[in-house]
Structure 1
C-alpha cells in the first residue's frame, strides 16, 4: 500500500507527534527513490472505489459525501483534487488526522482508502472556583455546548477568555486550568473540567503623578479625574480600590478632559505604568505633559438664519476671554449624555431642523487665544410623515396615539419625542426601559421623516396583597386592580382574558380588614372621557365598618354588635392644563359620606349613637413630570396641592353653637372629676353624646394638603428623591371646633391607608404606626386614646439605586432620612419640632403583585405616647402593595 504525496499537505498538524516525523522520513525516501515513475509525474486514473477507516461516530457514506469524490471520477494522482479533498476535510474541524492511501491499481483504475481520526465530542463541563449561578453564563460565553468537537484551539481560547474575563474584574492573578477525560457513556466522548483560581482582587496602594504643576494630585485623583480608579484607604467603603483595566482606560481620558476643561488643551499622558508591590497590590505611575493654558477668543457663527448670533451665544454661554474648555464647547454644541440638554443642536432639532449640522472649527490660535467659527448647515425644515407603533399586543392603538406628542404633519421635535417616551412610560402599560423610538426614512430633500415606537407590554393587572400590624392587630388587604381595563367590552365574552383589557381605564376592587374594622371599595376611572381630550373621570364607592374593641390582659376583645360605619360615594373630573405648562392638571371632586353610630364611642368623638353627614368639594392642582418610569423615576418632579371644603352650615343654621360648646365643656369637666364609675356618669355621658351629635350632625371643615416629590440623578443610576408634605385641618366656626374625622395619623409604614373616618395615614419610618399622633384622655371612658392631628409636616430624603429594571421584576435598594410630626392645633404647631429617623430598605416591583418591600428604620426621638420611655429605636416595616 502506497501513501499519496498529497496526503502530506497538513501544515503544522504534521509536527505534533514523533510518529508523523517518522512518516515524513519515509515520504522523503519515496520521493528520492520512486518505485513508480508514473506516480511522481502525475497520472490520470478512474476512481474505482473508496473506503473509509477510523470511523467511530460517523457512518462511512457521510464521510464520503464530505470528500466530494465519486466512483467513476477521473483523478490525476498526484494532483490538486486529492489536495483539495484533504483541505476540505480539515476545514470541517471534525477530524484530528486525515490521510489518503492507494490500496490497488489495475490499469487506469485506482482504489483509495481514507484514514481519519475523529475529534472527541464534548459531553459535560464542570467548573470549579466560581459561584454556581455564574457557571451557566461561562458555558454560554465560551460556547462549551454538549456535542461540541474538542480542539486544542477551543481549550486554549476558553482558558484565555476566562483569564482575561477575571483580570478585567480586578483579579490580575487569575488563572484557569482545563483538563479533559474520557467519557465512557458515549463513543469517542470526553468531559471537561475547568478549575478557575481568581485569587484576591489586586488593590491600588498608591497613585503617583509626575509632571503636573498646574493641577494638583488631589484634583487629578478626585472624581473629576480618576473617577473609578481609587487608591486604597481604610475609610473608603463605597468605592473599592481594585484595579479594573476598562475603568482605568476610561479614567485616563477623564484626566485629559480635566485639563481640557481648565484650558490646557494640549495636555497629554506621556506614559502610564503600574508597579507590582506584592501579589495583591500595585502602584500606578502617570507621567503628564500639561502644556500652556489657552483662552477663548472670538466666536463667530456662520450659516445661521433661523436663530440670530445673539440667541445662539446665549445658548452657547461662552464668552471671549473665558479659559478654553473643549469639553464644555462640545456639550454646548451637542451634549450626548442628555437627550433633553439645552444645547444648540437640540435648539435646532426641537424646532424642526433634523438635518441641521453644527461644527465648531478652530480658525486661528495666536499666542494663548483661540478663535472659533461655529459653522451651521441648517438644512431643510423637517416634518413628520408616518408615525407607527409596534409591540402593543393588549393595549389598543388609540390609547397610545392619544398619548403621543408626535403626530403626522407636525414639525420634527426631539423634545416631543423625549416627552412621548416619558408619557408612554407613565401609562404603566409598557416597560419604560425598552421604549425605543426608531427614526426611519429621513429624507433631507423632501424634509420628511418617519418615527416608529417599539413597545414591550408589561403586566398592568395586579393582585394587591398587604399585611402588617396596626390598630391592635393584623391588617390584611386583598385587592384586584385592572389598570388597562375596557368597560365598553364588558359584555363581550370573547374579550375576557381574564377581563376586558386595552382601553386604558382603571377598575379596582379592594377589601381591607382586621379584627376591628373592614373596608370595601370599588373604583373606576377613565383618563380620556369622550376619547378626544385628556379629561379624566373618576367614580368610587366605599364602605367602612369599625367594631368596638377593648384591650385586656395583653389581648384585644372585639364586640361586633357595637360599632360605626361610613358609607361614601364620590365622583371627580380632572383636566390637563396648558398653563403654566402642560405638565399641570386641575381636578374637581364631589363626595358624600354618611356616618352611622351604634353604641360605639372612642376618643375621636363623644357620641356613640346617631349619625353624621359630610358633603365635600375638593379642588386639586397637580404637576407631574417625573419619569421616564413611574416605578423608578430618575428625573422630574411630582407635586399635588388639594383643598377640601364643606358648606359653612353654621352660618345659616340658626343654632347657638356657643351654648352647645359651653355645655359640652361643663359636662366633660364634670365627667373627668367624678370618673367613669360614678353612678351619675351614665346620665352625664348620654347628655354629652347628644350634644356632640347635635354639634356634628352636619360636618363643616376645610382641609389643605400638599405633597411634593423631586427626583435628581446624582451619578449613573444613583437617584435622590426628596419629599416634603404638609397638611392642615381647619374649621369655619370656633364654637363648633375641629371635626373628629379627616385627621392626620403620622408614623410607621403607612400601611393603614384605609379610609377609616376619612383619616390620612402618613408614613414615617422608624416609629410604630400612628405613634407620632397626639394623645388625649377620653372623658367618658377615662382611657388614653389617639385623637389624630389637625396639622402635620414631614420631610424626607431617599437615595435609590436599581439592581435590575427588567419587566419581570424591578428591584432597587434605598437609604433614607426622614423627619416629621403632627399636632393638635395650629397654635401648638412647630415646624422644627420634628421626630427624626434614618434607615435603609429594599423594593421589588412585580407586575402581578405591585410593590413589595421591607424597611429598617431607626427613630432617634421618643414618640408622642405619654407612656413611652426612651427613643423609638429600630423598627421593621413591610411594604406590600401599590405604593411608590
Structure 2
C-alpha cells in the first residue's frame, strides 16, 4: 500500500510555479536518497509547474516493486517554496531458502520450480506464486492433499530474511469412484453401449488394477468432461439438462467424484418459423436448414443449421451484415417451436482488396488466384475458394482474410499471407534391401523470382546393389546403372491469363538389366508445352498439351537388335552395334485438383488423365499410344486424421505390329517407384510383373494399382504425419492376361516429413504378402524397408 499527504493539493500549489526547497527521505536500507531522487524525478530546487509531478513520482517509485509502503508529506511551506518528506518501507531480500517436509521431491527440484534465489526481493505476491507452484507440481504427481505454508526468518542483517517452506505432502491419490446420480436414461457403465456416460468422461477415469495408468485427476480435464457431458445430453434431445452439483472429495489415498444431474424431458421439433425473411421463401430456408419437424432436438446440429447453413446462404449472396436470432419456445410436454428471426440487411460490395505479408511473392501472382474482385458483391464461398487456391500454390504457411467495414454497403478485404520457403534442394532417393540406393537430386523453384515461375533442374543416378547376386546380372554394360539430367521451365499464368507455357530438355542413359531391358539405352530430347485452366466444369480443371521429340540409341547384341528393329535403324555393325530411333510425340493431360492443402490435404480430390501419341501420322519411328488415369481422394476422419485413396490405371498399345517398346516407356511397378516406376511398397524397385525365370521384371503394357492410407497429422509446421497403408497392384503384357483378383499386396506403416529446402522425406516399412511371378522364388518378399527423398506431395 502507499499513502501520501500534501496539504496544498487543493489547487493552490499546482496553479503556480512552486519550488521544491528540500526533500527528506526516511526508511532507507539499501537505497540512498539520490536513488529516490533519480527514480521519482523529484529533486530539491526543481519547480512544480504542471501539477502532476508528485503523483508521477509516487507511481514511478511504486512501479519499481521494491517497497511495501510509500508515504509523502508536506513538511514545510514558505514563500521560498515547499519541503517534502518521503517515508519508505523497503521490502526485504532473500537470504537462504529451505524446505521442510519434502520427502518426494529434492530441494534442487523445488528451487528450479519456484525460481527464488538469494538477493531476490520478497513480496507477498512472490511468496503466493511460489507456494502455488509447489502445490500445483505436487498435484500434477497426484498428491492432492498437499499443503504448503511459509515462514520468514530474521537474520543478522535487518533487510535480509530467510525463507522456510513447510510442505505436507500426504499420499498419492487416485480416482476410486465416480458416482453419478439422476442419469435415468443413460447408464454410466454398460458393456458395448455406445451411449454409456463413462465414454463421455474421456479424461477422468477411475483407477483399476488392470488399467494402472488411469485414476489421475486434473481439474481442467474434469471441467472439459463436464462440458462434454452437457453437450452429449443436449445433442440427445435433453435441452433442459443441467448439473445440479459436483463434488470432488479428497481422502488420504483416494478421490471420490459425486455428480448430481437433472436430465429433463427429451424434446422434438414441432415446427420451424422464419420471421422477417424477404429474400428467400420459407420453403427454401427450411430446405437449407436441413432439419425436419418431428426430428429429435440436437443442439449441435441446430447451431450448424442456423449459423452455417442459413448464414452461408445469405453471405454467399452478398448479405454480409445478415444475422439471425434463435428463439426456442417449449410446446406441450416434449415439443419445441423454433422461431428464427432474420435481419437480412442490404447487399454489400467489396470496395478494395489489400494484399499483405507478401515480401517475396509479387502481388499480381496472388491477385490472379482470387475468385472475387473489387466492385463485386460480397461472396463468402468465393473468399473460401480464393483461400484454397492460394494454399494450393504452396507458397504460404497461412492465408487469413480480414474484413473491414467501410459503410453499411461497402467492405474492404485484406488477404494476409505468411510466406514460407519455396525453393528447395529436391533430393530424390530410394532404398530397399534388395536393390540398395537409387536417386539423385536437383533444385526446384515453384515461385522463381517471386513471380510464380517454375524452374526445375534434376539429376538422377542409380546403382544396382552388387551385394545381391541371385539374379542374372550379365548385360552388355555389366551393370544396371542409370543416369539422367533434365531441366524444365513453366510460366503457369502467362500475362496473368489462364494460359501457361513451358519447355523441358533431358538426357538419360539406362544400363541394360537382363530381362528388364535388353539394351543400354541413351535418350536425348525435349518438349514445349501449352496449358490452360478451363471454365467448365469449374476452375479446378485444366489441360496441357506438349509436343516432344526424342532421339534414342539402343546398344546391345547385334542379333537381338536385328530381331527388334528394322535394318535401316541399325548402325555400327562392324564396331559397336546400336539401333537409332527418333520419335515425335504429342501429350495431352487433363487434370482437376480441389484439395485444401498441398502438404497435408484433408478433403477434396485430384484427377489426372494423360494420353501420349508417339509416331503414327506425327512421323518418326517410335509408334505407340499410352494412357494413364490417376485418381486421389481424401476423406477427413477428424481434423488430424485423413483417409487417402489412390487409383492408377494405365495401358500402352503399339501402333505397328511387333513394335519394340522400350523399358522406359512401359510400366514398372514395385518398391519406391523411383526413378520412373509406380510405387508398391513391400517389394523391390520396379520388380513386379512378367519376367523370364531367374531374371528381373521387364515391365508391362497394362497397369493397375490401388493404395489406401490412414494419415495421422503429428505437426502442421513443419508437416509431419504418420501413415498406415495397404497397397495392391499388378502389371501385365496385354488385356488377355489381366487378372485384378490376383494382385500383389502389401501393408505397413511409415512417416512423412516435409523439410524446408529439402522437400518431403519418407520412411516406410512394408510386408509383401505375395511371391514374385517367378518359379525360382517360392516365398513372398515379406518385410521391405523404403527410404524415400523427394516423395511427391500428397
The question of 1:153 aligning with 2:122 is answered no
CA distance in 2, matches of 1:123, 1:464: 58
Alpha-carbon deviations, 1:324-375, whole Å to 9, x = none? 223222110114xxxxxxx010010011111111223234523322222222
Q: 1:632 to 1:117 in 2, by over 3 A?
A: same
Which of 428, 431, 440 is 1:477 aligned to?
440
What does 1:289-300 align with in structure 2 at a 5 Å threshold?
289-300=262-273
Tell me the residue number matched to 1:301.
274
Match of 1:333 in 2: 306
Which residue of the partner structure matches residue 675 of structure 1? none
Match of 1:640 in 2: 608
Task: Provide closer, same or farther for how the CA distance between residues 450 and 520 of structure 1 changes in structure 2, counting only shifts above 3 A.
Answer: same
- Asked if 2 retains the 8 angstrom alpha-carbon contact of 1:219 and 1:225, the reply is no
Q: Structure 2 matches for 1:275-424, cutoff 5 A?
A: 279=253, 282=255, 284-335=257-308, 343-363=309-329, 365-424=331-390
Tell me if the contact between 1:201 and 1:242 (Cα under 8 Å) persists in the aligned partners.
Answer: no
1:192 and 1:524 map into 2 onto residues whose CA distance is 71
- CA deviations over 1:567-592 (Å, ceiling 9, x no partner): 12122222222222222222222222
Equivalent-residue separation in structure 2 for 1:588 and 1:623 (angstroms) = 15
Q: Gapped runs of 5+ residues in structure 2? A: 5-19, 48-52, 98-102, 154-158, 464-480, 566-576
Q: Which residue number corresponds to residue 570 of structure 2?
A: none
Which of 663, 681, 691 lines up with 1:775 in the alignment? Answer: 691
- The answer on whether the counterparts of 2:702 and 2:734 sit within 8 Å (CA) in structure 1 is yes
Task: Give SS of 2:722's match.
Answer: strand
Q: How does 1:158-237 map to 2 (within 5 A)?
A: 158-161=130-133, 163-164=135-136, 173=144, 207-217=178-188, 218-221=193-196, 225-226=200-201, 228-229=203-204
Q: Determine the structure 2 residue equivalent to 1:810.
A: 719
- Cα distance 1:589–1:320, how it changes in 2: closer, same or farther (>3 A)? same
SS in 2 for 1:260: helix
Match of 1:792 in 2: 703
The equivalent residue for 2:590 is 621
Q: Give, in whole Å, the separation in 2 of the partners of 1:569 and 1:146.
A: 75
Residue in structure 1 matched with residue 17 of structure 2 by the alignment:
none
Greater alpha carbon shift after TM alignment, 203-212 vs 192-201: 192-201
**How far apart are 1:89 and its partner, in Å?**
4.9
- Could you say which residue in structure 2 is the equivalent of 1:504? 452
Q: Please identify, of 295-304 and 253-262, the stretch whose mean Cα deviation from structure 2 is larger.
A: 253-262
Q: Distance in 2 between matches of 1:410 and 1:818?
A: 47
CA contact (8 A) 1:603 1:787 kept: no
**Shift in CA distance, 648/47, structure 1 to aligned 2, threshold 3 Å:** closer
2:744 pairs, out of 811, 826, 835, with 835
Alpha-carbon displacement from aligned partner over 1:644-664 (angstroms, at most 9, x marks no partner): 223446xx99xxxxxxxxxxx
* Residue aligning to 2:578: 609
Matched, 1:763 2:679: yes
Deviation at 1:129, TM superposition (A): 11
Distance 2:44 2:715 in 1: 62
Other-structure match for 1:546 = 510
Instruction: Give the deviation of 1:409 after TM superposition.
Output: 0.7
In structure 2, the partner of 1:529 is 494
* Matched pairs, number: 721
**Residue 260 (structure 1) aligned to one of 234, 238, 243:** 234
Distance 2:385 2:611 in 1: 29
Please tell me whether the aligned partners of residues 764 and 819 of structure 1 are also in contact (alpha carbons under 8 angstroms): yes
| 1:306 Cα deviation from its structure 2 partner | 1.7
State the 1:453 CA deviation: 1.0
Pair 1:584 & 2:535 matched: no
Matched, 1:438 2:438: no
- The Cα of 1:393 is off from its aligned counterpart by 0.7
Paired with 1:411 and 1:324, the residues of 2 have a C-alpha distance of 36
Deviations 1:430-457 (A, max 9, x none): 11xx21111112522xx11110011111
Distance 1:879 1:206, change over 3 A: farther
Q: Deviations over 1:651-679 (max 9, x none)?
A: x99xxxxxxxxxxxxxxxxxxxxxxxxxx
Residue 154 of structure 1 and its aligned partner are, at CA, apart by 1.9
Q: Tell me by how many angstroms 1:83 deviates.
A: 13
Structure 1 residue 295: deviation in Å? Answer: 1.8
Q: 1: CA distance between counterparts of 2:380 and 2:172?
A: 44
CA distance in 2, matches of 1:385, 1:538: 36
Quickly say closer, same or farther: Cα 1:71–1:739, change in 2 above 3 A: closer
Partner of 2:220 in structure 1?
246
- Paired residue secondary structure (1:763): coil
| Match of residue 598 from structure 2 | 630
The corresponding residue for 1:661 is none
Per-residue Cα deviation, 1:190-249 (whole angstroms, up to 9, x for no partner) = 999999999999776665543223334444447984455556689999x97754433432
The equivalent residue for 1:656 is none
Q: Contact 2:720 / 2:754 at 8 angstroms: preserved in 1?
A: yes
Contact 1:171 1:199 in 2 (8 A): no
- Give the 3-state SS of the residue equivalent to 1:746 in structure 2: coil
Q: Secondary structure at the match of 2:396?
A: coil
1:747·1:770 contact (CA, 8 Å) conserved in 2?
A: yes
Gaps of 5+ in 1: 1-6, 11-45, 75-80, 183-187, 336-342, 486-500, 552-561, 654-696, 754-759, 778-782
Tell me which protein shows more helix as a share of its residues.
1
Give the CA deviation at 1:427: 1.0
Partner of 2:462: 514
